[in-house]
Amino acid sequence: MNNKLDYEGLIKPGERIDELNRNNYRIIQNTSKFCFGMDAVLLTGFVKVLPGERLLDLGTGTGIIPILLEAKTKGSHFTGLEIQEDSADMARRSVALNGLDDKIDIITGDIKQASSIFRPGSFDVITSNPPYMNNNHGLINPNETKAIARHEILCTLEDVVREASRLLKMCGRFYLVHRPFRLVEIINTLSAWRLEPKRMRLVHPYIDKEPNMVLIEAVKGGKSMVKIEPPLIVYKEKNIYSDEIQNIYGF
């Protein structure tokens, strides 16, 4: 692995560097565009990547999921696919900032065409933190970058699931973070593309509040049986993270 590079020359106007609390890794972000959220971090705490496995992150944004999973797992190689060149460029510079060019590739491309960009059946693990909202859900942000990240403007849930299924090896694993209100649609779509849900975990902001996220692991060609894991509680009291959340973040 290369030595970490100094951030001088890697940062553009309006950008900042944030610490990731893992291996002294850092990430470049631009608050006027789109910064990673808790959902991406929680997904990295749910994903399992075994030694020697290859991972693809669909819609990687600024590369938070591949960078954190490189720190947390023994996977052999990590690839991020991102359609927005500004975000992909930031992700590449973050990879360089952390000296990870030999472990992480960032590719500019369309999720809908992912199985044309990569060889089908070539990944052991695929992850995605896709847009949660379709045209029936909420107002679309006037900021194009944020709108694309939050609404199904450039790809749908089915696009993500279809391409994940095509690119996974048989018995490969697909990991997704999404919203519980679309859970029936998510499960039906996964099953339609031979991705059988095997693990599921609901995320609650407080122990007495309804869940606002769901973490799902699905296996390509798996048998029908799902394990519902204990709920993940974000805050144990106002503005104080639970012990498990602190552990996921590396605090």
Please write the tens of the pLDDT for every residue from 97-116. Answer: 999 999 999 999 999 999 99
Cβ(161)–Cβ(196) below 8 Å: no
DSSP 153: S
Q: Does 98 map to a domain?
A: yes
Total domains in the fold of the chain: 1
Backbone angles phi, psi at 185, to 5 degrees: -60, -40
Q: What is the mean pLDDT of the chain?
A: 90
Q: What percent of the chain has pLDDT over 90?
A: 81
Q: What residue numbers bound the domain in which 143 lies?
A: 15-249
d(CA 80, CA 61): 8
Please write the tens of the pLDDT for every residue from 79-99. Answer: 999 999 999 999 999 999 999
Q: Does 82 map to a domain?
A: yes
pLDDT at 135 over 60: no
pLDDT at 117 over 60: yes
pLDDT at 154: 66
Cβ(124)–Cβ(113) below 8 Å: no
Sequence-ordered strand ranges (E) for 115-222: 123-128, 168-178, 195-204, 213-220
Q: Does 4 map to a domain?
A: no
pLDDT at 8: 61
Higher pLDDT among residues 193 and 4, named by residue: 193
Q: Does 3 map to a domain?
A: no
Q: Domain holding 93: CATH number? A: 3.40.50.150
Q: Does 2 map to a domain?
A: no
Q: Does 110 map to a domain?
A: yes
Q: Does 68 map to a domain?
A: yes
Q: Does 242 map to a domain?
A: yes
Please write the tens of the pLDDT for every residue from 144-199. Answer: 454 444 544 568 999 999 999 999 999 999 999 999 999 999 999 999 999 999 99
Higher pLDDT among residues 28 and 144, named by residue: 28
